[in-house]
A and B are shown apart, each in its own frame.
Chain A
Amino acid sequence: MKLLSAFRSSYLNRRGTTFRSLDPSSFDGGFIPKPSPSSIFWLAIHCLCCLISLILGFRFSHLVLFFLFSTSVTNLYTTTAGVSQLLKLKPLEKANVTAKSSRVVVGRHGIRIRPWPHPNPVEVMRAHQLLERVQKEQKSLYGVRSPRAVIAVTPTYVRTFQALHLTGVMHSLMLVPYDVVWIVVEAGGKSNETASFVGKSRLKTIHVGFDQKMPNTWEDRRRVESKMRIQGLRIVREEKLDGIVVFADDSNMHSMELFDEIQNVRWFGALSVGILAHSGNADELSSVLKMNQEGKPIQGPSCDSSGKLVGWHVFNTQPYATKTAVYVDDKAAVMPSKMEWSGFVLNSRLLWKEPVDDRPTWVKDVDNLLDGNEEIEDGPLSMVKDPSMVETLGSCGRNVLLWWLRVEARADSKFPPGWIIKSPLEITVPSKRTPWPDSSSKLPVVTKEAKYNQPATEKRSGKAKRIKEQEQ
């Protein structure tokens, strides 16, 4: 009985989850019922059980008694058992079950809960490492067998939107899971701004300058860009870079699947480019869209039902006939050329000087082009003798893997060099709400920050207080 009362008091002290970690072995060996006052004994147990179930509820009382009598095979507890039924603890006819020493017992079992259920951080890390390893294995099985390097050729020049565009391209290239060589050709010579981007990328980069300055009309710009890309290809030839050449224009948007898909190219591939010919004028756009219902804004290969390349899908410039931009900062929509460079990828071995064994015959010899003797007229398709042999990527152009966009700022827009504001801003206008004194020439920079910090911290502590109250 002493043991019982001790158990009861300790039990009352420790409610909740910690109860479940109660070690049943301390109550092992139970109660050997004395032969003569057994009925009184059982009555006492009965009262005790009633009390426990009154105080702690039916479920706990069951658990208590289960732990008490748990060493031997338990009888099954029927779900509607009153406490009195628990006392009829006859062992189940286990002649069949335990005859062959099975350790599996039929009946009610406790629900095992460990006392500190929170996940172990070391194990979580190990699980993530396992996930990574499995995914790496999956990639090597279902992805590309021997991934080739990606050589991205980007023509660029310094202007307001360069930071916007180059950051996008840089981040895309940094995420590519293969080796990347980034060739940046800059019109107007190498500059510090571009060099800072190129340096930030932590990729293998080749930054060269191009002697011409970027002209102000889209037509001329396209021509200069083509020349810059050829310059990039010249570098590939000189350095004998091995990989897949992608024309990553700085204002385009590339998806990650693009880089996975181009690994499938053998010599010269074409893919679909989504054309975003947006002028920034919403009314104009809606009227254009109404007119342009049938056409899709895509440039790329087009196949018949058997998957053979039969033609090229070109962007329909008809609706924009009167309203295209001529100058770089015009408000009208910018039109792409008939076949944009970015929709084509090629194997860098096509550009090497030494003849490669299995160079296809349907690609022209590019040495003339690269030596500057020829001019490339209408896009990269002129590098190919037989356009029908071009490989199609992205399930024959049905997947659009990159988007073409041309957005530039006004010609007279200025931007801080390197986008760092070196000198303090000259004009400050006090906001209507702050109780500042009239602004003096000495800028209250420090106090402004302090004023901002104060209300924020007050707010934060207020929130913390409220949460604490809620917890309790």
Chain B
Amino acid sequence: MKLRSWVLIFIACNLLTFSTISAFRLSRSQPTERISGSAGDVLDDNPVGRLKVFVYELPSKYNKKILQKDPRCLTHMFAAEIYMQRFLLSSPVRTLNPEEADWFYVPVYTTCDLTPNGLPLPFKSPRMMRSAIQLIASNWPYWNRTEGADHFFVVPHDFGACFHYQEEKAIGRGILPLLQRATLVQTFGQRNHVCLKQGSITVPPYAPPQKMQSHLIPGKTPRSIFVYFRGLFYDVGNDPEGGYYARGARAAVWENFKDNPLFDISTEHPTTYYEDMQRAIFCLCPLGWAPWSPRLVEAVIFGCIPVIIADDIVLPFADAIPWEDIGVFVDEKDVPYLDTILTSIPPEVILRKQRLLANPSMKQAMLFPQPAQPGDAFHQVLNGLARKLPHDRSVYLRPGEKLLNWTAGPVADLKPW
């Protein structure tokens, strides 16, 4: 009896060690620190052997033909859905036998209907998704077995599976009813928001890895810029008055700090954007129309500490990466005091954050390289999926049980695609 209680206490103590950073590991170029998030030291985990994914063979009108129509989809920030399919098709976790699969992947490119400017229009996406789900539900028994609870979809658009770029409309629509039980891999993440389903995996937006690697400068170039930002402060086309775009946070940054010599902020598009980021200590990553931004990825790759100004945001792979230790979080209401906040950070904390950012597994986890490399974002997604295994027994429905409402949602969505 006593032994058992001691064993229980021992196990309890082990379970209590959450989010610890330990072991200063010296590497040849820069000392880095190990990264452990709340899920543990999982960035270097190898998902091969831990899960099996079955990729549905959808007709090419759902994926290849769309890509052929507009190859720009390969380079914009929503390209993760395309590369995810390519990765899974040739990955060792793929299985051709659906009976032994733990997860099912549906390759449908919902974010590839681009305007002439290159922005994706989400108006047809709900119908496309619905049509794809109808197809797999009628051709394979696995959807109906669980009503999608062991299926995952990649929906990298602004507000995920709410399929709209305007926040109120997205909230109004909510997540597509058919995806209520599926796992969503998306870039959007905000706590207590309709469009973030519990159990979703947040991924970074796509940033072209070769382009960023080609702009690296030698590490001994001294970091002489204190705060750096390039981007819009006012979206004059959609929000001429201000206060709506970015919830007024970007405008507040501009109005308060445009004359401050420590802040190198402007709306220009310099050709030396990546080089300048490598010469800065802090890079601002404020929200825009949606809270996520590719600036976070760029800041991590270039070793610039991200200053995240977006209330309640959920950052990529939040259970594997301890973002609190790596970036600086500033509430939107504290934006006027940004300079006080940033200058009052002790130097040891700054150096530690830079060491964490220098960790190569951290940089790898933010990228979608082709071909895939170990530790990159594809593998982190698989790790996240593997951590959700084994499926709970409630996932499997009793025969005849139906939980999804196939006719819910706006009437326009029910039209066939």
Contact = CB atoms under 8 A, between A and B. Distances in A.
A57 to B, nearest CB: 11
Contacts of B251: 111
Interface size class of B (residues with CB under 8 A): 35 or more
A141 B219 contact: yes
B259 A112 contact: no
Interface stretch (B81-89, B220-228, B402-410): B220-228
Contacts of A119: 260-262, 339
Contacts of A62: 241
Nearest to B195: A96
Interface stretch (A131-139, A180-188, A304-312): A131-139
A96 B247 CA distance: 19
A103 interface: yes
A103 B247 CA distance: 13
B194 A142 contact: no
Contacts, number: 135
B191 A114 contact: no
Interface in A102-119: 102-104, 106-114, 117-119
A106 B339 contact: no
Contact of B220 (A107, A108, A111, A139): A139
Interface in A270-323: none
Nearest to A113: B255
A97 interface: yes
A65 interface: no
B351 A133 contact: yes
Interface string A122-147: 01101101110111011101110000
A102 B248 contact: no
A118 B256 CA distance: 8
A451 interface: no
A96 B194 contact: yes
B255 A111 contact: yes
Given A110-B248, A111-B243, A119-B261, A126 B311 contact: no
B192 A101 contact: yes
Contacts of A139: 220, 222
A114 B312 contact: no
A112 B219 CA distance: 37
A9 B160 CA distance: 48
23 contacts: A59-B241, A62-B241, A76-B168, A92-B168, A104-B190, A104-B311, A106-B168, A108-B244, A112-B333, A117-B255, A123-B340, A123-B344, A130-B350, A131-B226, A134-B350, A135-B223, A137-B351, A137-B354, A138-B222, A139-B222, A141-B29, A141-B219, A142-B220
Interface of A: 58-59, 62, 76, 79, 92-93, 96-97, 100-104, 106-114, 117-120, 123-124, 126-127, 129-131, 133-135, 137-139, 141-143
Interface of B: 29-31, 167-168, 171-172, 174, 190-194, 218-220, 222-224, 226, 239-244, 247-248, 251-252, 255-257, 259-262, 281, 311-312, 332-333, 335-337, 339-340, 342-345, 347, 350-351, 354
